[in-house]
C-alpha cells in the first residue's frame, strides 16, 4: 500500500514510517504539516493518507480540515485521522462526507501494533474504522429524534454496536444471539430508519451515522477499534 503521513511529531512520524515499511508498505511522503499536502497527494498518488488533527502553525484543527478538503478533492482516497483528540466540530462532517474509506483512531488507545496495522489494512480495503471513544464523544453532542424512538431497546443496542463497527458475528457473540437473529434486527433497524435496499451508499454506515447524529445515549464498552462496513 502507498501511504502518505502528515504528523508534526518527528519521533511519531519516523516511527510510523519504519512501522509501515517493516510491514511491507511504501511511505511515499512524510510531512510535518499540511502546507505541501495537496501537492504531495497529486505527485505521489497515495492509497491512504494519515493525518493528525492538530498541526502547525496553530495546532488547532489544521489536520482535520485538510482531511475534509481531501474528501472533496480526492473522494476515493482512504483517510485515517490519527490523533490524541476528537475534534467534534469537524469529526461528524468528516464521517458524513461522501468519499472513500475513513478511519478515526486515538493515539493513546492504540494498544497493539498488529491490531493497528490490521485496522489500516481494513481501511485501505474499504472499511470505516472508528474508535468507540470518537463515537461516544460525538453522541454526547447530539439530541434524539423520532426515528430512534421507533427502535426497540434491543435494536438500539444492536445499532450502537454497529456504530462501533462490530460485525454481525461479533454482535451475535456479545448479545448471545444467533447471526440470523442479528441480521433480522439489522433489517428492522434499516427499515425503521428509512434506509431501503435501493438507498445509495452503504446502509450499515448510514445507520451508524444516524446513531451518531440522533442519539444521546451511552455507547456500550468495546475494544480500541471497530469497523463499520
Alpha-carbon distance 15 to 56, whole Å?
A: 19
Q: Are residues 122 and 16 part of one domain?
A: yes
Confidence at 214, pLDDT banded by 50, 70, 90: low
Lowest mean pLDDT among 28-32, 51-55, 130-134: 130-134
Q: In this model, does residue 143 exceed pLDDT 60?
A: no
Query: Where does residue 146 rank: exposed (0-12), middle (13-18), buried (19+ CB within 10 A)?
Result: exposed
Percent of all residues in the chain with a pLDDT value above 90, rounded to a whole number: 43
For 20-49, write each residue's pLDDT tens digit: 999 999 999 999 999 999 999 999 999 999
Lowest mean pLDDT among 29-33, 166-170, 176-180, 203-207: 203-207
Question: Region 114-142: what's the mean pLDDT?
Answer: 80
For 67-79, write each residue's pLDDT tens digit: 999 998 999 999 9
Which of 99, 130, 161 corresponds to the end of one domain? Answer: 130
Q: For the whole model, what pTM was predicted?
A: 0.67
* pLDDT at residue 227 in the model: 39
Q: Are residues 92 and 158 part of one domain?
A: no
In a domain, 227, yes or no: no
Lowest mean pLDDT among 2-11, 55-64, 145-154, 174-183: 145-154
Q: Are residues 161 and 88 part of one domain?
A: no
Which of 130, 155, 175 corresponds to the end of one domain? Answer: 130
Residue 208 sits in a domain whose CATH number is: 1.10.10.10
Q: Are residues 190 and 103 part of one domain?
A: no
* pLDDT at residue 200 in the model: 39
Residue 67 sits in a domain whose CATH number is: 3.40.50.2300
Place of cell 511515499: 28
Percent of all residues in the chain with a pLDDT value above 70, rounded to a whole number: 79
Q: Are residues 165 and 125 part of one domain?
A: no
Look at residues 187, 185, 184, 175 and name the one whose alpha carbon lies nearest to residue 152. Answer: 185
Q: In this model, does residue 146 exceed pLDDT 70?
A: no
Q: Are residues 84 and 19 part of one domain?
A: yes
The tally of domains found in the chain comes to 2
Mean pLDDT for all residues in the chain = 81
Q: Are residues 78 and 6 part of one domain?
A: yes
In a domain, 64, yes or no: yes
The DSSP symbol for 83 reads E
- Parent domain of 160: 142-214
CB 145 within 8 A of CB 210: no
Alpha-carbon distance 34 to 194, whole Å?
A: 39
In a domain, 223, yes or no: no
CA geometry: angle 44, 80, 132, nearest 5 deg? 175
* pLDDT at residue 195 in the model: 66
Q: Are residues 91 and 200 part of one domain?
A: no
Q: Are residues 32 and 120 part of one domain?
A: yes
Confidence at 196, pLDDT banded by 50, 70, 90: low
Amino acid at each position: 500500500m502507498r501511504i502518505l503521513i502528515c504528523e508534526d511529531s518527528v519521533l511519531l512520524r519516523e516511527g510510523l514510517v519504519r512501522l509501515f515499511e517493516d510491514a511491507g508498505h511504501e511511505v511515499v511522503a512524510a510531512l510535518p504539516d499540511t502546507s505541501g499536502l495537496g501537492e504531495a497527494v497529486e505527485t505521489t498518488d497515495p492509497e491512504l493518507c494519515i493525518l493528525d488533527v492538530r498541526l502547525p502553525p496553530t495546532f488547532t484543527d489544521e489536520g482535520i480540515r485538510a482531511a475534509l478538503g481531501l474528501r472533496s478533492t480526492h473522494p476515493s482516497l482512504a483517510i485515517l485521522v490519527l490523533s490524541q483528540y476528537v475534534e467534534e466540530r469537524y469529526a461528524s462532517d468528516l464521517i458524513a462526507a461522501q468519499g472513500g474509506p475513513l478511519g478515526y483512531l486515538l493515539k493513546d488507545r492504540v494498544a497493539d501494533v498488529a491490531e493497528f496495522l490490521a485496522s489500516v489494512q481494513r481501511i485501505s480495503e474499504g472499511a470505516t474504522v472508528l474508535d468507540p471513544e470518537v463515537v461516544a464523544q460525538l453522541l454526547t453532542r447530539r439530541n434524539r429524534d423520532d426515528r430512534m424512538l421507533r427502535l426497540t431497546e434491543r435494536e438500539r443496542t444492536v445499532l450502537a454496536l454497529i456504530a462501533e463497527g462490530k460485525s454481525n458475528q461479533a454482535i451475535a457473540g456479545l448479545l448471545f444471539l444467533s447471526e440470523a437473529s442479528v441480521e433480522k434486527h439489522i433489517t428492522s433497524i434499516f427499515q425503521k430508519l428509512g434506509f431501503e435496499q435501493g438507498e445509495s451508499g452503504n446502509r450499515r454506515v448510514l445507520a451508524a451515522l444516524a446513531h451518531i447524529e440522533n442519539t444521546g445515549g451511552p455507547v456500550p464498552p468495546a475494544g480500541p477499534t471497530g469497523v463499520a462496513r
